[in-house]
Amino acid sequence: MHNLITVKDLVVSRQGKFILQNLSFTITRQDRVAILGPNGAGKSFLLRVLSADLVPSFGSYVEIFGQAFGKTKLSDLRAQIGFVSSRQLHWFSNKDTVWQVVASGIDGVYGATRDFSQQETNLILESLDRFGILAIKDRLFEVLSDGEKRRTLLARSLVNKPKLLILDEPAIGLDIPTRVKFLETLDQLSLNLPIIYVTHHLEELPKTINKVMFLKDGKLIAHGSKTDMLTSENLSKLLDMDVEVVLKNGRYFILHT
């Protein structure tokens, strides 16, 4: 059986500067992965590659769902990957409704611009209902509460029933009660769906995370199990500062010492 993702000698460069350098790793269908690293480590570029949104430099090998880049249409891969980022909050028109935002996930675009088949409509309705936003489907996205916006983005990302969900700092800006509910939702989702999660805040990591990757200066400096990786010593080296990692109620917290 194919790995979910296989990456060998991944390189991304811009204007002669290496953004990602010779990354090699695999992700299986049983993995729930966290990618951690300081600002400028290359995390966002890596997520763009893993979401089939960016073609890496010549010589890189990337395979997703058994399909190698260069031998398959990236748009076909993107249709099988859910993606959620706090940056998406600003990617929709101020005239887009909740329905239009969720429906746009069918085609992987930003803003629904066509009529949908009955089968597609049923998928949209199912996703709206799953996240408790069916009753507000005609409301403008921009006037929603932060919690409603995140549920809408999750509904959009899962409308196509993807094989993988990628989350790029999805909880930024949420108040504590809303964040707790949002993370509980992710805990449940990730029981049956592989996820890749990027954050600067350990306490946001879903409890299902079982694999952690450290990215620094465009290099994969370490990866392994959550319990082996999330130690005070390892995080201090990653962040170039003395920190203490505390585990409480299944979630990790990082304290500056």
* One-letter identity of residue 7: V
* Ranges of H-type helices in the chain: 43-50, 74-78, 98-103, 118-130, 146-158, 176-189, 226-229, 232-239
Tell me the CA distances in angstroms from 152 to 130, 143, 174, one per residue in order. 10, 12, 14
Whether 12 is covered by a domain: the verdict is: yes
Number of domains comprising the chain: 1
What are 197's two structure tokens? Answer: 């999660």
Is the per-residue pLDDT at 171 higher than 90? no
Whether 245 is covered by a domain: the verdict is: yes
Average per-residue pLDDT in the chain?
92
Can you tell me whether residue 175 is helix, strand or coil? coil
Q: Which of 84, 159, 104 lies closest to 128 in space, CA to CA?
A: 159
Whether 115 is covered by a domain: the verdict is: no
Q: What average pLDDT does this structure show over 129-147? A: 94
pLDDT band at 1 (very low <50, low <70, confident <90, very high): low
Whether 227 is covered by a domain: the verdict is: yes
Q: What are the tens digits of pLDDT across the range 180-225?
A: 888 898 999 999 999 999 999 999 999 999 999 999 999 999 999 9
Q: What are the tens digits of pLDDT across the range 17-58?
A: 899 999 999 999 999 999 999 999 999 999 999 999 899 988
Is 246 in contact with 255 (CB distance < 8 Å)? Answer: yes
pLDDT at 15: 84
CATH number at residue 59: 3.40.50.300
- Long-range contacts from 174-177, C-beta under 8 angstroms, 24+ separation: 174/146, 174/147, 174/150, 175/146
* One-letter identity of residue 70: G
Whether 177 is covered by a domain: the verdict is: no
Q: What's the domain range around 9? A: 1-80+201-257
Question: pTM of the predicted model, to two decimals?
Answer: 0.91
Whether 70 is covered by a domain: the verdict is: yes
Q: Which residues pair with 254 in a beta bridge?
A: 245
Whether 47 is covered by a domain: the verdict is: yes
Whether 54 is covered by a domain: the verdict is: yes
